[in-house]
Amino acid sequence: MRIFVLSTILAFSLGGCSFGGGKAPDSAQEEDHSRYNLVQFSPENPYVTLTPTQDARNINVETSQFGYLDSVEVEMTYFSKTVQQGVFDRIDLKNGVGEKQIFLGSCSESTGVRRCYFHEGVEKGVVNATYDDGEEKKKRISSEFHLQELTKANGEFESTDGKASVTVEPTLGILSVITLPVTGLPGVLPDGKTVEGTPYAFLPSREVQVRGIVRLDAGSDASSVTIYRWDAAKASWEALETTVNGFIVTSPTTELGLFAVGR
């Protein structure tokens, strides 16, 4: 495990190492990725999803489709008010899948007393998953995420790039949602359909029925396309009634989760 020293005390999160300090950069993506091969979307690629806990103080990080690898390094950087913070951890994998809950904060220990501090005001950030599959450069998945509380979002949850959103009516049980793009899919689309644009995940702190509208950017002419939602219980894609308006497609949905546009 890596150690990061903040001032003169040792700091760590409940799920791994924590680091921070200094003014936040203009973009969460200001890191040099030149040392890595960045993973672009392809249905068979590995991918990362993030699910908030009800109090939004912890994030469940799930890593999928990493094949034979034993572990993957995960780093999240985000803004707490005007300060850039972050956490780092290693997730062990079994059959290419792993999961770990990471605390959005830091803990310090002095004279035998341990104190933990929650990073307040976390909304936008980046999750990096770095792994070595034997090629010359390590590979990295890098995705911007958006953590929103239902009351502050007024029922509209949107990706940081504005290309995906879901609007829901006031719903009991959901306190927060994380929206982020994914670099792979849990299964191929049915009937030989190919993916148009980028799939997005809208993952709530609690799974409940909703009355909502999902909006996605198909990235090209959206004629003859359909929005699909992944049904984890059935391990299959569900086709949704789809309305097309230029490059933008919308569908009503009764559940949040992973959505993709297929042609």
What pLDDT is attached to residue 214?
Answer: 98
In whole angstroms, what is the distance from residue 221 CA to residue 97 CA?
A: 35
Give me the percent of the chain exceeding a pLDDT of 70: 87
**59 membership: H or E segment, kind and range:** strand 58-64
* Residue 107's pLDDT band (cuts 50, 70, 90): confident
The mean per-residue pLDDT over the stretch 118-146 comes to: 95
Classify 103 as helix, strand or coil.
strand
The mean per-residue pLDDT over the stretch 49-64 comes to: 95
Amino acid at the residue 144: E
* Residue 31's pLDDT band (cuts 50, 70, 90): low
Helices (H) and strands (E) in the chain, counts: 1, 23
Tell me which of 146 and 111 has the higher pLDDT: 146
The DSSP bridge pattern shows strands 195-204 and 257-262 to be antiparallel
Lowest mean pLDDT: which of 9-13, 83-87, 92-96?
Answer: 9-13
Whole-angstrom CA distances from 161 to 23, 36, 164 are: 22, 23, 8
Neighbouring CB atoms inside 10 A of 96's CB total 14
Residue with the two structure tokens 């502050």: 152
* Whole-structure pTM value: 0.87
Tens digits of residue pLDDT in 195-238: 999 999 999 999 888 999 999 999 877 788 999 999 999 999 99
The mean per-residue pLDDT over the stretch 33-44 comes to: 93
Whole-angstrom CA distances from 238 to 75, 161, 204, 216, 260 are: 32, 25, 19, 16, 10
* pLDDT greater than 80 at residue 101: yes
Tens digits of residue pLDDT in 61-87: 999 999 999 999 999 999 988 899 989
Whole-angstrom CA distances from 203 to 70, 117, 170, 185, 260 are: 26, 25, 16, 15, 14
What pLDDT is attached to residue 106?
Answer: 86
The DSSP bridge pattern shows strands 36-38 and 138-149 to be parallel
DSSP secondary structure, 126-183, as one string: EEEEEE--SSSSEEEEEEEEEEEEHHHHTTEEE-TTSSEEEEE---TT--EEEEEE-S
Tens digits of residue pLDDT in 237-248: 999 999 999 899
What pLDDT is attached to residue 2?
Answer: 36
The mean per-residue pLDDT over the stretch 175-181 comes to: 95
Residue 172 half-sphere exposure, CB side, CA atoms within 13 Å? 0
Domain ranges of the chain: 5-25+35-262
Per DSSP, 104 falls in state S
Per DSSP, 150 falls in state H
What pLDDT is attached to residue 34?
Answer: 84
- Largest Cα–Cα distance in the chain? 66
Q: Which two tokens stand for residue 197?
A: 């644009």
